[in-house]
Structure 1
Amino acid sequence: MIHGVSAPDLLGETELPDGRTLGWAQWGPPEGTPVLFFSGAAMGRGLGFGADALGRLGARLIAVDRPGLGASAPLPGRTLESWAADVAHLAERLELPEYGIVAFSQGAPFALACAAAGLPKAVAVVSGQDDLTYPAFADRLDPGLADLLRAVAADPEGFEREFAREADAAMMWRLVVGTSSEVDLAVYTDPDFAAVYRASLEEGFRQGPAGYVRDLVLAFGRWPFDPSLITVPVDLWYGGHDASSVHSPDHGAELARRIPASRRHLLPEAGGSLLWTHAEEILTALLDAVRR
């Protein structure tokens, strides 16, 4: 096992009221406290985290594919609100008691949409993508990223069509390694970890690029909820060596100010890969909040 990663203990697909299915993978004791995992950009359900700590912590980790990625059926025109509705149905079908959510990178707005809807007991956002359209960030964005945001705002459907022409698992891997710090490259390019990460990207694109590109439009657009109205506890975790331009311009400082019940953890020695280097610390804080 490298960086707490192992093959899932269980794979499943759950039918929703409209007949679609959501695919998921599970690790840890079945009777453990449920923790839903919303992965990063284009990642399939097969890459979890903290597998070596789940039994000790009494946690049941469930990674859920978003519609159109991996094993989850597509939903054309989906929104952050429709994702929250899907998660509510999934939790009901799986008969989950109170649960937490961990979101990595691009999974952040999807987790915070669920928090805004009052679904989880607590949330952990790890190296999370911020609301990049927030006015305070206007002069702090990478110029290329700012151009992408303007393209999404001007013509979301056209952006989806154009971006889908070049989006695939190989492109995503080049993007990850090309924008990572040395701290993160030490994790991502470890041969064993890289094999699992790249397999998760292939899994994410198994239905083609549409699911990923729709995620991108939703994450790059204006969030349809007000973070200041989120009342569930939210832990924001960032590494000082996180070099990604699409996570947060200030490592979550502005987002922490906007979410009343939030705590910001900035780990100076860590990178954007801290989900795998600090998994037990992240899970322990989340589980404490869920079990209160």
Structure 2
Amino acid sequence: MAARQPKPTSAFVLPSGRTLGYAIYGSSDPSAPTAFYHHGFPGSQGEAFGYDSAARAQGIRIISVERPGMGASTFQPGRTLLDWPADLLALADHLQIAHFAVLGISGGGPYALACWHRLPRDRCVGAALVCALYPTSLGCAGMLLQTRALLTLCPWMPTPVGWILDAMLGGTARDLAHPEKLELALADGLKNKPANDRAMLEQEDVRAALVAGTRGSMISGGLGPAWDGLILGSDFGFKLEDVKIEPGRVIMWHGGMDQNVPAHMAEKAAALMPGAELRLSPEHAHIDLPYMKADEVTQRLKQMLAP
């Protein structure tokens, strides 16, 4: 039997004429409770394949949306973090989704949090932030040098960084004739990570999700991911202490062994957002946490989405 694979990308044309790429995972019922998945940095919709089984088990839909310049989504010059909620709401309206939750993984966390902050409560009813990135102003001590360098350089020189990213990864990601090369590149990139992160590539669905997410992120070159880095390394446009949170509606999962986003960033962010619940797992790192906690995350999303 052939292995399951990430879904093909669908396209939605925004009123501005830009295209948003997305795919639907989990339940096939259009009326099922729905959460919008925000992929990591860099990433694309295929990353959400790793949540497909957990979402199906909970009877919810996960709609994975590609940010501008990644996957099938049109690059948007000069975009900011707070431009994103309007795009997401337009897609929700197009799909006739009355209310929804948001799920943000790693670099997708700020986008999910911006949606929670910006959108009406009768539309966006909950937020799950999993190994999410928080403002770099909270301190980057303990962060991997490569991640810290990207978040520092992208705000100053996104175009050159985009060229570098494309030179480093673009050709490999777009080489569909030799897909094994991207798997090897991802494994090489994890060789200095915690053992539990490295072990995730041994799981077929997780490997397929990470490969698909990375491949899609570079399909149009490195500028889209570089601009994402610009946004993630800059001021978010709102203060965490101004985010209003009802108990049980914003939950943060984070690994104590995370080297991409050190746990102290999540702890400081939680302290600035009274009402947010931080679930710290000392034994987990950055790659393994989202998948090891997929059942728990989707269960909590279902509870948030309950009438």
TM-score, with normalisation over the residues of structure 1?
Answer: 0.85
Give, as a single letter, the amino acid of the residue that structure 2 aligns with 1:131.
P
Other-structure match for 1:243:
259
1:89-145 CA deviation, whole Å, 9 max, x = no partner?
1111111121001111110111111112035211111011121123xx266656665
After superposition, the Cα gap between the structure-2 partners of 1:9 and 1:194, relative to the gap in structure 1 and judged at 3 Å, is closer
2:80 equivalent in structure 1? 79
Q: Among 181, 198, 205, which residue is 2:218 paired with?
A: 205
Partner SS for 1:235: strand
Query: For 1:134-186, what per-residue CA distance to the aligned partner results, in whole angstroms no more than 9, with x for missing partners?
Result: 3xx26665666555554445555665566555453459836751452111111
Query: Once the two structures are superposed, what CA deviation does each residue of 1:72-101 show, in whole Å capped at 9, x if it has no partner?
Result: 111111111111211121111111121001
1:118 is matched with: 119
- 1:61 is paired with a residue whose SS is strand
1:47 partner SS:
helix
The number of residues matched between the two structures is: 285
Tell me which stretches of 4 or more aligned residues in structure 1 moved more than 3 Å: 5-11, 138-172, 189-193
Task: Report the 3-state secondary structure (helix = DSSP H, G, I; strand = E; otherwise coil) of the residue aligned with 2:23.
Answer: strand
Q: How far apart are the structure 1 equivalents of 2:270 and 2:299?
A: 20
Partner of 2:250: 234
Query: Secondary structure at the residue paired with 1:252?
Result: helix
Matched residue of 1:17: which SS? coil
Distance 1:208 1:40, change over 3 A: same
Quick check: 1:160–1:217 contact (8 Å CA) kept in 2? no
Q: Secondary structure at the match of 2:133?
A: coil
Tell me if 1:280 matches 2:295: yes
| 2:179 corresponding residue in structure 1 | none
Contact 2:142 2:259 in 1 (8 A): no
* SS of aligned partner of 1:217: helix
Does the 8 Å contact 1:164/1:213 carry over to 2?
Answer: no
Higher mean C-alpha deviation, range 193-202 or range 95-104 = 193-202
In 1, the alpha carbon distance for the partners of 2:206 and 2:140 equals: 35
Change (3 A) 1:50 1:152: closer
Q: Distance in 2 between matches of 1:240 and 1:205?
A: 30
1:270 to 279, 284, 306: 284
Q: Retained in 1: the 8 A contact 2:129–2:252?
A: yes
Mean Cα deviation higher: 217-226 or 282-291: 282-291
Report how far residue 236 of structure 1 moved.
0.6
Query: Is 1:36 matched with 2:50?
Result: no
Unpaired segments ≥5 residues, structure 1: none
Output the CA distance in 2 between the equivalents of 1:286 and 1:106: 19
Q: Is the 8 A contact 2:38 2:112 kept in 1?
A: yes
Equivalent residue, structure 2, for 1:12: 10
1:278 Cα deviation from its structure 2 partner: 1.5
